[in-house]
Structure 1
Amino acid sequence: MSYHFFADKNDKIKILEFIFAETDFRVFDFSSEYEKEIEEYKNIDEIINKFNLSDGGSFSVSFILWSPRHKGKINIRKIELNPKYCNGKTFRYETSGWGLIQLSFSGINKNVLTKSVFTSWSKKGALSRETENHVNGKVIDWDWIEIEKSSRKLKYQIHNKLAVDKIGSTGILEAARELKANGINFM
């Protein structure tokens, strides 16, 4: 499942409030900062204090959502970096796993708000790629009924409860609509 939406900071906070209050998701970094571990976030304040939820380009802040109901496990792997291109830094960490839900918030850059998105694999899609991708583990280790329920619940909240308008099938959340009314372009 993949769902795109336009969201400003206050919209993103509403999504995170829903995640922390109404779901059993655990929230992790998609990838770590250079030479740091993957962090798990226990509340909204930890996220607001660490990240700029307003500015940035495409997918400037990305999280992984996982529930114990999904079974499976989060794989964390070390990515080697070339220090020549990364300010002397030599590694970072990245999460992976077939049943993880990725939530990526985009921001405003050069007067343009880019779409945010959440995505998750379907069982069929994961099975079609399993032989090519050994990093994610085994597809059968995940509870796909629960993953689909979780994805639908998140989509319903964003699309049916928080979106106040849309462009095609892309939801426009309330604070983002105000940005558009004030001259911010959407992409």
Structure 2
Amino acid sequence: MSEAGIAAMAEAIFAKPGVAVAQAYSEPERETLYFRSPAELCAFAARLEREGDSCVLLAVHYPDMAGPFAPRRIALDPAKCAGRTYRYVCEGWGVIRVYLRLSGGKGLASNVGANSQKRAEKWQSHYPEFGSPDAWDWDAVGRHERRLVRVLKKVAAQEGLS
């Protein structure tokens, strides 16, 4: 995705007040980065691109979605992670994931997604750390997810990626 495409997605993400936007996964043994503006998010994506990363993976939460949104520390296997022992992840039943493939990246196409209420209820017993799916306003989750998907489709069409 081009710089203009990243900028369009960043503007769409921040279009609604009170949004919380964070790295879905922190760097090992570092705190989760939060973004306060489209410009901050674009600068982060540009830095990742310069460093050779292939994507930006975000966790997005709007106040009207309700539900908990906070990074959770997870353990890493130091033998498989160059001696690193932890990182943070932002996840939850209604958290919207935004995956933006950078222009030099290979692999999955950019996408936006969130769990549905039905899926959350089905998997609740497997992920008790996520709490109750009833804590989420699923209409709001779906509204925000669909809005971001529409913007992503428009960007993809403009860039010939659809």
Query: Per-residue displacement from partner, 1:148-185 (whole Å, max 9, x unpaired)?
Result: 111122223333xx24xxxxxxxx342x32xx7xxxxx
How far did 1:135 drift? 1.9
Query: Helix, strand or coil for the counterpart of 1:118?
Result: strand
8 Å Cα contact 1:80-1:90 kept in structure 2: yes
Q: Is residue 63 of structure 2 the alignment partner of residue 76 of structure 1?
A: no
Offset of residue 44 of structure 1: 2.3
Q: Secondary structure at the match of 2:130?
A: coil
Once residues 153 and 114 of structure 1 are traced to their aligned partners in structure 2, the CA distance between those partners, rounded to angstroms, is: 21
Give 3-state SS (helix, strand or coil) of 2:89's partner. strand
Match of 1:91 among 64, 75, 86: 86
Q: Residue in 2 aligned with 1:149? A: 143
Query: Bigger shift: 128-137 or 39-48?
Result: 39-48
Cα offset for 1:130? 0.9
In structure 2, list runs of 5 or more residues that go unmatched: none
- Unpaired segments of 5 or more residues in structure 1? 1-6, 164-171, 181-185
Aligned equivalent of 1:125, options 119, 143, 148:
119
State how far apart, in whole Å, the 1-side matches of 2:20 and 2:145 are: 14
Higher strand residue share: 1
**How many Å apart are 1:86 and its aligned residue?**
2.3
Residue 140 of structure 1 pairs with residue 134 of structure 2? yes
1:61-99: CA deviations, max 9, x gaps?
100110110111114221212333323322111111101
Judging by fraction of residues, say which structure has more helix. Answer: 2
Q: Give matches, 1:22-101, under 5 Å.
A: 22-24=15-17, 25-52=19-46, 54=49, 56-57=53-54, 60-101=55-96
* In 1: Cα distance, 2:42 partner to 2:128 partner: 34
Larger radius of gyration: 1
Matched, 1:19 2:13: yes
Q: Distance in 2 between matches of 1:37 and 1:126?
A: 27
Distance apart, 1:113 and its partner CA: 6.7
Deviation at 1:114, TM superposition (A): 4.1
Q: 1:113 to 1:32 in 2, by over 3 A?
A: closer
- Alpha-carbon contact 2:6-2:42 (below 8 Å) kept: no
- Please state how far the C-alpha of 1:117 moved relative to its aligned partner: 0.8
Q: CA 1:46–1:83 in structure 2 vs 1: closer, same or farther (change >3 Å)?
A: same
Inter-CA distance 77–113: structure 2 relative to 1 (3 Å threshold): closer
User: RMSD of the TM alignment (CA)?
Assistant: 2.3
Any idea what the Cα deviations from partners look like across 1:45-67, whole Å, max 9, x if unmatched? 3223333465644xx21001101
Percent identity between the two aligned chains: 23
Instruction: For CA contacts below 8 A with separation 6 or more, give which structure has more relative contact order.
Output: 1
Do the aligned residues in 1 keep the contact of 2:111 with 2:152 (CA within 8 Å)?
Answer: no
In the alignment, the residues of structure 2 paired with residue 100 and residue 137 of structure 1 have an alpha-carbon distance, to the nearest angstrom, of 13
